[in-house]
Structure 1
Amino acid sequence: MGFLNPQVLYLLGLAGLPILIHFLGRKKYKEVYFSDIRLLKNLEKDAIRKVKISQILVLLLRTLIILFLILSFAKPYLSEVVKSLFIRKNSRLNLVIDNSLSMSCLVNNSNVLEESISYLSALSQKFEYPFYLSVYTTTNNKPVIKDRRIEAEEDFISSIKRISITNLEGKLDITLSNILKEIEGNENVENYVWIVTDLQESNLGSGNEISNMINGLNKWDIVPVIIKTDFELKNFAITGNLSTGLISTNNPLIVNLQINNWDTVASEIPVTLYVNDEKVGKDVVNIEPVGREVVQFKIMPQKNGFTTGYAEIRNDNLPADNKWYFVVYLPERIKILIVGKTGQDIRYIYNALTSSRSDYYDVDISSVNQINYYELLSYDIVIFSNVCYLKNEQIARLKELVSKSTSIVVFPGDDCDLGGYNNLWHNILGFPKLVKFLGSKVEEAFVSLGKFDREHQLFVNVFRKDVDILSNVRFFKVPVFDIDNDDHAIIYYSDGNPFLIECKDDSRTLGFLIATGIDGRWSDLPFKGFFPVLLNRIIAYLSNTSSFNLIKSTGEQYVIENVGKKAVEEIKMVGPDKRVFYPLIERNKLVFDRFDDTGFFEVYSENSIMKELAVNISLSEIGNSFLDQRTFERRYKVDKNKFVWIDLNEKSKENYTMIEKKDLSTIFIILVVSLLIIETFLSRINRVSSERDGE
């Protein structure tokens, strides 16, 4: 047994105080002889014997109370070898190293990962060699080292020092799942699992997964060891997004920035915005401890094509998350494909697009049967009019279209019944559900357009507030759609049903559903001046959404669809450090490996730039929540006996010799309280006995 406060043991002499007080307080009696009555003498002897025994017990209890109280203040503990830290000969160590970005945070003139590796190196002196080592990183699904035989301490140290920090997000739950599968396939080997991590909450996955993984390891008699380094959270992280909406050389682009404060003190942070390497704005935000603040900048794109920019905050303990990059693309020409069942389904849409913006649009038309002859993914926008039945191969191409950056505009029509529309557009592609049709054969019975969202980007600088052009359009047949929380109804009919719906998948705009036929039989919309205005605004709005697909995160892949053999030889990517990347070929796709750095990447074809991309730190690495042991146990419902926790900031020599302390202070406090209760009870009995004898 050891003591954390051994100096308190000098007070053990105080345990003799009850004995000293007892002897000093003894009463002296003068003997007086009475008549020899044997019965009285025997009674007297019995009473004295009982009193002495009780007094001795009380004296002993008081001595023990003082003794145990002093020992509890000395904080006694028992030491024992931690089984999970003692690597035995011919066993296998499954070592998980968190090499995500947050592990590069500066601490003690190094970083968190280097501190952890130094600890592992010192601990390796006590291992039994040889053993087998498998090293996993939280940023890679596959083991970096697989069952390597480690013959000596030097082998182990050289193996773990190969691990370097990345800009990628970590996924500890997936890594533990892979380890558990390996252990289940090698049950004849004694396994150990060590986890080196900063326990950034956003990298842990769901609570159930982590808890299940630890329970799964426990079933194999494995107690995982979590090795954590706490560090000063002197860090601020920046992320952002671009306002969705209509972007042009005449409309401002809103840059929304969010600054996260990891620190426990409030701070003032200057934020600077650069566009095409020129400083265009600056602001200062006050951020509360472990809080976040939002700041907005407005910029005006000066030209068509690619515009690059970034926002920056001052350097701190983690410089990699102090910049957020963005790219905006304003196309010089927009490629549009109109698909209809008949020429009448296409006619008015084509006229509306080509009458005023023929210099800005490349418009192609196609019947439903001819879709296969077009490279759909080469178009920026595809408009479907009166199309509700497609062949299986056409549906497959359309699903691929929806999953990529091409936007879709849908007009129902006479050939769209409930079953046909819902099967294609709702069930397969996720557009709003068609509920029913409302209409009348009497021309005088009609509805008009009613309220609309004036704040939407479609209507910026379009209408004066005192003009209501929408009521001039008459509709004789109205399809009724049921919209969910993701979708946004922008214009309503006068009867309250939605007319113009922005269809979204989470935050990404898939396209628009315009709830009317456009062949001239459902309404007089095709003959009104409002129709080309509305359609051109929709096209301009959707063409801007491609800008948001130019902003990527570290760890993402970049895929180019539908390329020919010639294009494969011509396409390459150049990173911010001028490294050149070449794609892998997968069928008719080009796949660039996941981004591992931040900044601007340029995609070239025939030595000319075809696309610019901005790559930023993953959002999960910007989170400011790092768990301590108690929070980890509570949030993920993990019992403290199911794992071993080592905090390197509280390490001592015992850690290096693989000794675990079991605190005994609580046990001694319980003993003190129990003895006090017994002592109080016996003292009361003695007092009552003395009072009776006195009587």
Structure 2
Amino acid sequence: MNFLYPGFLFALLSVAIPIIIHLFNFRKFKKVYFSNVQLLKELEQQNSSREKLKNLLILLSRILAIIFLVLAFAQPYIPLNKQKTTILNNSVSIYIDNSYSMDAVNKDGSLLDEAKRNARELVKNFGLNDRFQLLTNDFEGKYQRLLSKEEFLKALDDVKISSANKTLQQILGRQSNILTGSANKYSFIISDFQKNVFNQKKLDAKQDIQYAFLKLNATTLPNIAIDSVWTLSPNHQPGASERLVVQLKNYSEEDAKNIPLKLSINNRQKAVNAVSILAGKTVKDTLSFSGLTAGWQKGMITIKDFPITFDDSLLFSFNVDENFQVLNINGSASQDYIKPLFSADKYYKLTNNVETNINYNNFSNYGLIVLNGLRNPSTGLAQQLKTYVNAGGILAVFPDLDVDVKTFNTFLSGLSLPSVSTLNTTATKVDKIDLKNPVFKSVFEEVPKNLDLPVVNRYFSFIESNKTNKEDILQLPGSKLFFAKYGLGQGQIYLSATSLNQTDGNFARHPIFVPLMYRLSLGAGSYDALYSTIGSENVLNSKNITIGKNQSLKLTSNQFESIPDVHFAEGRTLIYTADQIKNPGFYNLKLNDSLLAVYSFNSNRSESDMHYLSKTELNSLIGKSNLKIYDTEKDAVKLISGQNQIGQTLWKLCLILSLIFIAAEILLIRFFNNPKKTI
């Protein structure tokens, strides 16, 4: 047998009280002589031995009544599975769901307030020496420790609705980190249990922790949410036409008609529309706009939908470049068709380098790098270009057909490209073009039946062992490579089988070459995400940033400023925000007073689905013997300390026995050995 509150056993010293009373009230019989018995009106005849027995029984009843009353307060129990009876304190972790869905109301008020009330009741049922952890979706470090009862209740008052969202497995994992040692361990989850909290088949829970799920009941509400947004072009030019795709989802069981949809850029309305969505369905709508100036753009998509409003807006940001920088590296014998091509448009800023004078450090500044007939491409150049492409750059390779094949193959291998097998000198013509490729999108108003394609006099044939990351754009007879795209990291490499020299073919002078190169460059913008999600994305991407000595990057917003952790990898700067971002909004990345980037953060859309797991569904999903599930509206939540861990509680029996012995004392005093009376 064990005791939940062994400290109460000191009260057994009170047994001395009835013993002392008994000793001092012990009656002694003595003879009394009277001269005249007529003075006695009545004589009580008593037996001395029976009186002694009565007093002893009364004393025993009082002692046992006190003993069992003290034991009832100490709460004895029989441990499960014959556990070793040790005296342990309790460690309790209580999770309060403070996600957006807990802002909903029921007949008792908001769900968050109801959760706080339940938490207070839980804490009251534990002892003063027990310790508690308060856990919310924010996973704040200051609460990754055990608190006293008073500290817990004070911290509980500060819990507010948060945009963060965690799965049930993440919550239990966090609790198990704090519930260690030899104490009795208890985990309480107070939540409305939206279906999004459970994303796996079975729950991984520890056997030495007693779990209790307190399910709060909320009314299922209709909701329309802005699910996501993306642009159809990664390249943004000043004044150019833009198209933005917005995806909306109807989470309710009724159709939604004519939902107002509005697009704003830099607080200026750019497009409006009305969208209808069938029940439970998703729709996409394309918004067109123009008139942007160079610089970072802060966009917002909004709808009007009640009563759930936290997902009625979505923030995004992107940069409109004032110009697009192209690096053209020419070989000694190459004919330069790239310079007149990009010099005709003011948007493109072209830099020409010769093969013998290349500045590797500036590669990250260019959106497109063209290799035009390099005679001696080195492995060092290949390594630098690979880093550039992995970080999102675009590389176009036009070989010198008179290059040393062995040297060129080493260079191609460094870029994970196929190697050259032979040089073909038989004239032929391109016979296949992939008009569905994004490179040719909107190039042809109408595709002619007999499309004139480039003629080639000399070209390389390649040995291709892996075609998983390849897209053929132009092909020679026999499905041979002529111009193809290869994915590498976040960027792309375009490889040509022939050079741009006039003697090797008419590719550079063919009408298809100009739109091909322009479209290729227009696809060379940043494919970085337009926005991030609070709580799930803690790494921001940026172009390579040079930070001087005693300088640091800052992430700022309204009444917010932090110095993020910065890492450099493959020509990119990675900015780690950890859990510092708590609220939706725009955040500026600055170096001193210079604005480097604008990042937008939105709340997690998983909270938009206002459907909940029932108590039956929770039981079927979990099925753990050391877990109890309570419906706070229907079930009496029995959460007295130790009750969910012990095998058999004995405090009720002790209380009943105490009452029995008190009743026995009363009966003994009143009815035992009732004296006979004589006159």
Indicate if the aligned counterparts of 2:215 and 2:615 stay in contact, CA closer than 8 A. Answer: no
Change (3 A) 1:619 1:542: farther
Q: What's the CA shift for 1:531? A: 2.6
**For the residues of structure 2 that align with 1:503 and 1:110, how far apart are their CA atoms?**
58
**For the residues of structure 1 that align with 2:190 and 2:405, how far apart are their CA atoms?**
59
1:496 to 474, 479, 488: 479
Q: SS of 2:161's equivalent?
A: coil
Matched, 1:146 2:148: no
**For the residues of structure 1 that align with 2:185 and 2:274, how far apart are their CA atoms?**
53
Matched, 1:646 2:630: yes
Indicate if the aligned counterparts of 1:352 and 1:535 stay in contact, CA closer than 8 A. Answer: no
Q: SS of 1:534's equivalent?
A: helix
Matched, 1:553 2:536: no
The one-letter code of the counterpart of 1:188 is S
Matched with 1:471 is 453
**For the residues of structure 2 that align with 1:633 and 1:135, how far apart are their CA atoms?**
25
Q: What's the CA shift for 1:382? A: 3.7
Matched with 2:216 is 229
Matched with 1:67 is none
**For the residues of structure 2 that align with 1:516 and 1:495, how far apart are their CA atoms?**
14
Matched with 2:522 is 540
Q: SS of 1:526's equivalent?
A: coil
Indicate if the aligned counterparts of 2:326 and 2:350 stay in contact, CA closer than 8 A. Answer: yes
Indicate if the aligned counterparts of 2:305 and 2:312 stay in contact, CA closer than 8 A. Answer: yes
Matched, 1:264 2:253: yes
Matched with 1:450 is 432
**For the residues of structure 2 that align with 1:621 and 1:366, how far apart are their CA atoms?**
56
Indicate if the aligned counterparts of 2:95 and 2:135 stay in contact, CA closer than 8 A. Answer: yes
**For the residues of structure 2 that align with 1:422 and 1:98, how far apart are their CA atoms?**
55
1:310 to 300, 309, 316: 300
**Percent identity of paired positions between Structure 1 and Structure 2:** 14
Structure with greater helix percent: 1
The one-letter code of the counterpart of 1:325 is L
Alignment of 1:237-276 (within 5 A): 237-238=225-226, 239-244=228-233, 248=237, 252-268=241-257, 269-276=259-266
Indicate if the aligned counterparts of 1:550 and 1:612 stay in contact, CA closer than 8 A. Answer: no
Alignment of 1:516-535 (within 5 A): 516-518=497-499, 520=501, 523-535=505-517
Q: SS of 1:465's equivalent?
A: coil
Indicate if the aligned counterparts of 2:98 and 2:112 stay in contact, CA closer than 8 A. Answer: yes
Change (3 A) 1:244 1:312: same
Indicate if the aligned counterparts of 1:264 and 1:289 stay in contact, CA closer than 8 A. Answer: yes
Matched with 2:280 is 290
The one-letter code of the counterpart of 1:93 is V
**For the residues of structure 1 that align with 2:301 and 2:500, how far apart are their CA atoms?**
48
Matched with 2:128 is 129
Change (3 A) 1:606 1:181: closer
Change (3 A) 1:199 1:359: same
Paired positions, count:
544
Q: What's the CA shift for 1:104? A: 4.1
Indicate if the aligned counterparts of 1:371 and 1:394 stay in contact, CA closer than 8 A. Answer: no
**For the residues of structure 2 that align with 1:369 and 1:492, how far apart are their CA atoms?**
34
Indicate if the aligned counterparts of 1:246 and 1:458 stay in contact, CA closer than 8 A. Answer: no
Alignment of 1:294-443 (within 5 A): 294-338=284-328, 342-344=331-333, 348=336, 350-351=338-339, 353-357=341-345, 360-363=348-351, 365=353, 367=355, 370=358, 372=360, 374-383=361-370, 390-391=379-380, 395=383, 401-410=388-397, 420=410, 423-426=413-416, 434=418, 437=421, 440-442=424-426
**For the residues of structure 2 that align with 1:134 and 1:276, how far apart are their CA atoms?**
43
Indicate if the aligned counterparts of 1:451 and 1:492 stay in contact, CA closer than 8 A. Answer: yes
Indicate if the aligned counterparts of 1:554 and 1:597 stay in contact, CA closer than 8 A. Answer: yes
Matched, 1:279 2:269: yes
**For the residues of structure 2 that align with 1:570 and 1:255, how far apart are their CA atoms?**
34
Change (3 A) 1:200 1:486: farther
Change (3 A) 1:489 1:197: farther
Indicate if the aligned counterparts of 1:133 and 1:146 stay in contact, CA closer than 8 A. Answer: no
The one-letter code of the counterpart of 2:256 is S
Query: TM-score, with normalisation over the residues of structure 2?
Result: 0.67
Structure 1 unaligned segments of length 5 or more: list them.
1-79, 427-432, 661-695
Matched, 1:612 2:598: yes
Change (3 A) 1:647 1:367: farther
Q: SS of 1:289's equivalent?
A: coil
The one-letter code of the counterpart of 1:155 is E
| RMSD between superposed Cα atoms in Å | 4.3
Indicate if the aligned counterparts of 1:380 and 1:407 stay in contact, CA closer than 8 A. Answer: yes
Q: SS of 1:133's equivalent?
A: strand
**For the residues of structure 1 that align with 2:483 and 2:168, how far apart are their CA atoms?**
44
The one-letter code of the counterpart of 2:163 is N
Q: Deviations over 1:127-164 (max 9, x none)?
A: 23321223444454x754234242x4x43322333344
Higher radius of gyration, 1 or 2: 2
Indicate if the aligned counterparts of 1:192 and 1:222 stay in contact, CA closer than 8 A. Answer: yes
Q: What's the CA shift for 1:539? A: 1.0
**For the residues of structure 1 that align with 2:405 and 2:197, how far apart are their CA atoms?**
47
Structure 2 unaligned segments of length 5 or more: list them.
1-76, 81-86, 645-679
The one-letter code of the counterpart of 2:448 is D
Matched with 1:176 is 172
**For the residues of structure 2 that align with 1:617 and 1:168, how far apart are their CA atoms?**
7
Query: TM-score, with normalisation over the residues of structure 1?
Result: 0.66
The one-letter code of the counterpart of 2:284 is V
